Homo-oligomer: A and B are copies of this chain.
Amino acid sequence: MATLERLFHPRGVAIIGASTNPVRIGGAPVKALSEFGFKGRIYPVNPKYDAIAGLPCYDDVSEIDGACDLAVIAVPARATAGALRACAAKQIPFAVVLSGGYRESGDDGAALEDDVRRAVEETGIRIVGPNCQGVLNLSDRLYATFGAIANEPDMAAGPVSMAFQSGGFGFTIALLCEESGIGFRYLVSSGNETDITTPELLDAFIDDPGTKVAFAMVEGVSDGRALQAAGRKGAACGKPVIIWKIGNSETGARAAASHTANMTGSYDIYQAAFRQSGILEVTDVEALRDCFAVFGAGRLPKGNGVAVITITGGSGIAFADRAVAGGLQLPDLSDATTDALRCVVPVFGSVQNPVDVTANLFNEVENFTDAVDVVLGDPSVDQLCVLMASVSGATAEAVSGAIVDAAAKTDKPVTVAWSARRRNAEAAYRLLESADIPIIPTPVRAADASVALHRFAMSRKRLAADTGNSAPVIGHELPPGSGALDEQAGKALLRAYGIPVTEDRIIPLDGTIAAAVNGLTFPLVAKILSPDIAHKTDIGGVRLNIADGPALAEAAAEILDNARNAAPDARIEGVLVSEMVTGQECLIGVVNDDVFGPTVAVGLGGVFAEVLRDVTYRVAPFDAKVAREMLDELRGRALFDGVRGGAPLDVAALTDVLAAVSRLAWDGRDRIAELDINPLFVGADGQGVIAADALVVLA
């Protein structure tokens, strides 16, 4: 989306409401733009002044006499809509609205924000904000901003672009990362996001040739699928989208009929949606900074094998603990590799992975170089981490030089875990930095970063093979109105999508069982049939294991009685009868999420879902391969392989049904609010699955 190009690379910038006071929101950008190296033209606009900071000041935006692609709006909230219309009339395509006083400050402010929205819609001008802290492009030294960041003239340029709603926290994070060696491309505080939103910014970051890593901190987005699209696009072109989602401590209570909707928190869905679309999630600054460092270097591993070269045994062990926990392997090195290492590593070191070259080897840099070359050349090694402890001075410089040389001969990622004090090792730091070798202060964080590299590389492969689910729309006709369907109607919907359901008969309200048992084999199940009774078991509306006709008649009478007593106003249609089914109980559900739309849940039934909430999610629609990933995320996944001599379950049938449910949820997204298939019985391999109940709630 090249359409934001001029926002980040304006030929000229107007500051509407410019001020001579450099701590005011109208003064800070004038000062920062004029002093920090911005090469474009700067047009302060304010009828009160003739000149600001040595620049001629314009009475009105219409008077601007040169190319201008961006307006910084620093006038009060009530004047903003007018200012935007004036900018649009002057053909200025973008504005950054720094002013506050909109919906964050009550009803009056919300009305002013509506005015701003109308100005945007009517003129076509695109805006960042309002109530934001501005936009920076550090490659062009564009500081369209105020506050602490406008006092940092020396922020390093680099390959990382960031968007964040909260300017104060976002810029604090940027400063922390910059302090530890990260350079930035675009920094955007998006504020109220009345027009340009986080997903659109991420998309623009990925399109930008100067950006290698795109990050956003979000409290919430309105269009979750746009966020996913940005993640997928980033994965496709090798630029990870990293997100820190804040605001997750509320458990998100819903008032819903289905079990799925009741147990699903919005953060669960965010996390699953991130995994589904290759988005990396972080939850603190250090992990984020380290991802910036390793992804900024631009190399990805081809597999899960990581080699470690260390000078202290303890740090190698700490790295291994964490790397293995994160899904990496420390592969055995080949005989050729260990033989070669034996020629250069002291006997009290180790030639096995983690390779302990001992502190001695740092004093014999030729041998160290050989060791790094040999390890990087081993075919089982997909990436390398060198643990340099706090080695300083000339030794650090020699070692760094050797690492830089070795890394230049390969495209495998090479990371250094190193914590020398900068003042004791400046030359070595510069060597590594100029060669784009990421430096991470501790072995554990280096392991986490290696894990992140691997995860993103795997996501890329997975997404490249992801065909989605473009099965044709079935168009099963749903009854009019809203509310729950009865079980029979719910099962009809499932059947239309090829999902096996039990063969059901109905005992009418007079209790005649003859037609119901015709062709069914005992034992049977009987359940109340009513669109108004979602939780049938709770009201005594279910009887299992019914052995014969007389027992069925008795059960039907009792169920009807129970239902009438418990729910006197419910529409009761009869008693549904079907054969007993066995197999592993599972639960499949659909919620129609405000952010992500129709989303499918799956879990193992019984205690797994109810006590452990062992449930996983994917945004619909998706194919059977994605469904398989869902199953692999369950803590109880071993059950699918058969436990204690049990047969493996029919996972192929289960994943087909999951994909079908995802299609159903997507096709019916305008009508279907919730859906539960609980229980779904999964048979042994080859024996299929069958839905024994269905609850569909229409919106």
Using a CB–CB distance below 8 Å, which chain A residues touch chain B? 100, 104-105, 147-148, 151, 164-172, 175-176, 179, 217, 219, 244, 246-249, 283-286, 311-315, 317-318, 320-325, 347-348, 359, 389-392, 419, 421, 441-445, 537-538, 607-608, 610-612, 635-636, 638-639, 643-645
Contact = CB atoms under 8 A, between A and B. Distances in A.
A391 B315 CA distance: 35
19 contacts: A105-B347, A166-B312, A168-B312, A168-B359, A169-B318, A172-B315, A175-B419, A217-B314, A244-B318, A247-B321, A249-B320, A249-B325, A284-B445, A285-B442, A286-B442, A537-B644, A607-B643, A610-B644, A611-B643
A148 B314 contact: no
Contacts of A322: 283
A289 to B, nearest CB: 10
List the 6 closest A-B pairs by CB distance, nearest first: A166-B314, A168-B312, A169-B314, A249-B324, A284-B444, A169-B315
A423 to B, nearest CB: 10
Given A148-B392, A166-B314, 18 more contacts: A148-B390, A151-B392, A166-B312, A168-B359, A169-B443, A179-B419, A179-B421, A246-B314, A246-B318, A249-B323, A285-B441, A285-B442, A286-B286, A607-B608, A607-B636, A607-B643, A611-B643, A612-B636
B175 A421 contact: yes
A605 to B, nearest CB: 11
B444 A283 contact: yes
A147 B286 CA distance: 29
Contacts of A419: 172, 175-176, 179
Given A283-B444, A320-B249, A445-B284, A172 B312 contact: yes
A268 B638 CA distance: 20
A164 B314 contact: yes
B444 A285 contact: yes
A317 B441 contact: no
Given A246-B321, A639-B607, A314 B168 contact: yes
Given A148-B391, A285-B441, A321-B247, A219 B314 contact: yes
Nearest to A131: B348
Contacts of A170: 314
Contacts of A249: 320-321, 323-325
Nearest to A247: B317
Contacts of A312: 166-169, 172
Contacts of A171: 390
B610 A643 contact: yes
A20 to B, nearest CB: 19
A122 B506 CA distance: 91
A57 B638 CA distance: 69
Q: Taking the full assembly, how many copies of this chain does it contain?
A: 2
Contacts of A100: 348
Contacts of A169: 312-315, 318, 389, 443
A417 to B, nearest CB: 10
Contacts of A248: 321
A444 B610 CA distance: 31
Contacts of A443: 169
Contacts of A246: 314, 317-318, 321
B313 A166 contact: yes
A324 B249 CA distance: 6
A636 B609 CA distance: 11
A174 to B, nearest CB: 9
Q: Which of A169, A317, A325 has the most chain B CB atoms closer than 10 A to its own CB?
A: A169
A421 B175 CA distance: 8
Nearest to A101: B348
Contacts of A167: 312
Given A284-B444, A348-B104, A639-B611, A315 B390 contact: no
Nearest to A287: B444
Contacts of A165: 314
A536 B445 CA distance: 47
Contacts of A247: 317, 321
A390 B219 CA distance: 21
Nearest to A169: B314
Given A246-B314, A611-B638, A389 B172 contact: yes
A177 to B, nearest CB: 10
Given A176-B441, A246-B321, A283-B444, A168 B639 contact: no
A538 B320 CA distance: 37
A673 to B, nearest CB: 24
A344 to B, nearest CB: 18
Q: Which of A286, A537, A643 has the most chain B CB atoms closer than 10 A to its own CB?
A: A286
A389 B219 CA distance: 18
B442 A176 contact: yes
Nearest to A147: B359
A608 B638 CA distance: 12
Nearest to A148: B390
Given A148-B390, A169-B318, A172-B312, A612 B612 contact: yes
A324 B636 CA distance: 26
Contacts of A219: 314, 317
Contacts of A166: 312-315
Nearest to A249: B324
Contacts of A325: 249
Contacts of A318: 169, 244, 246
Contacts of A635: 611-612
Q: Which of A148, A390, A638 has the most chain B CB atoms closer than 10 A to its own CB?
A: A390
A169 B359 CA distance: 12
A389 to B, nearest CB: 5
Nearest to A248: B321
A611 B247 CA distance: 33
Contacts of A638: 611
B611 A389 contact: no
A369 B70 CA distance: 41
A266 to B, nearest CB: 13
Contacts of A611: 635-636, 638-639, 643
Q: Which of A318, A445, A538 has the most chain B CB atoms closer than 10 A to its own CB?
A: A318
